[in-house]
């Protein structure tokens, strides 16, 4: 049963009393007492294991309808969503997944400033969904990863974590990602951006090695390390010859 949530938003409800209960739990998720917050989150995850569509769509609708919601409350909801996704990914339908990907990407980049707790929670939702819906996640991420402009810190970190979370689906994007990233490296002036680019390069290398080491199970068995070696080499030339020359070894 689809329950209207305002505008075009909808909750994938059951039509039973549990629908209102889940909404009430989401509303109360940021209780003043940490132990109560943990109980509420655990309850939502337990219900989500049985009714993932209902719990996840309830969280989605709640966050969309409450744009001014306290950030800590948003974090709790996003963290709960990630836990439900980990437990039930195979049961999440593509339509709902697309809505959740868009929501999480918007949450992650809602502010240009780095807000680690909020943005880590949103990134976690994207990476969890990307283990099945990598194309949908990358489509949304690449909208925020455009040539000539430094991306959001967590846009890069999310791709890095996704690359090792689902190498078989991510590696086909690598040529395009590296082609866009290489010119960006020269634009990175602050330590945090240098660190996240270095982190991403390391994870990308891991994903390539995993792909090649398990090539018999890969969707494209023509992939070889050599396909990416020149781009990776060019990136590390910048890291070692430009960034480390200024005694910023901590970026590694």
Long-range contacts of 142-148 (CB under 8 A, 24+ apart): 142/173, 142/176, 142/177, 143/105, 144/105, 144/109, 145/177, 145/180, 146/180, 147/180, 147/183, 147/184, 148/183
Amino acid 246: pLDDT: 56
48-92 confidence digits (pLDDT tens): 999 999 999 999 999 999 999 999 999 999 999 999 999 999 999
The token pair at 128 is 């969890």
Euclidean distance between the first and final Cα of the chain, in Å?
Answer: 50
Amino acid 9: pLDDT: 74
Average pLDDT, consecutive stretches of 10 residues, N- to C-terminus, the chain (252 residues): 53 86 96 94 97 97 96 97 98 97 98 95 98 98 96 98 97 96 94 96 97 96 95 94 68 50
Amino acid 4: pLDDT: 47
135-145 confidence digits (pLDDT tens): 999 999 999 99
Q: Residue 22: which H helix or E strand, with range?
A: helix 17-27
Q: How many helices (H) and strands (E) does the chain have?
A: 12, 2
Amino acid 250: pLDDT: 53
């Amino acid at each position: 049963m689809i329950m209207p949530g305002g505008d075009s938003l909808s909750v994938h409800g059951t039509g039973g009393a549990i629908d209102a209960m889940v909404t009430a739990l989401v509303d109360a998720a940021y209780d003043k007492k940490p132990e109560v917050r943990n109980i509420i989150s655990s309850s939502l995850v337990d219900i989500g294991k049985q009714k993932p569509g209902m719990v996840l769509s309830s969280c989605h609708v709640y966050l969309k309808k409450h744009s001014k919601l306290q950030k800590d409350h948003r974090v709790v909801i996003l963290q709960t969503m990630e836990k439900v996704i980990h437990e039930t990914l195979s049961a999440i339908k593509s339509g709902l997944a697309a809505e959740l990907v868009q929501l999480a990407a918007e949450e992650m980049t809602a502010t240009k400033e780095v807000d680690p707790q909020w943005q880590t929670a949103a990134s976690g939702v994207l990476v969890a969904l990307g283990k099945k819906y990598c194309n949908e996640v990358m489509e949304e991420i690449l909208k925020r990863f455009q040539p000539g402009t430094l991306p959001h810190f967590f846009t890069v970190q999310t791709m890095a974590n996704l690359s090792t979370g689902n190498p078989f689906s991510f590696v086909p994007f690598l040529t395009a990602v590296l082609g866009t990233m290489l010119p960006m490296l020269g634009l990175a002036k602050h330590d945090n951006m240098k660190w996240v680019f270095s982190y991403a390069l390391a994870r990308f290398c891991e994903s390539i090695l995993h792909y090649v080491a398990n090539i018999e199970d890969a969707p494209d068995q023509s992939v070889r390390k050599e396909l990416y070696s020149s781009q990776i080499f060019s990136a590390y030339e910048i890291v070692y010859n430009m960034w480390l020359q200024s005694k910023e070894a901590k970026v590694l």
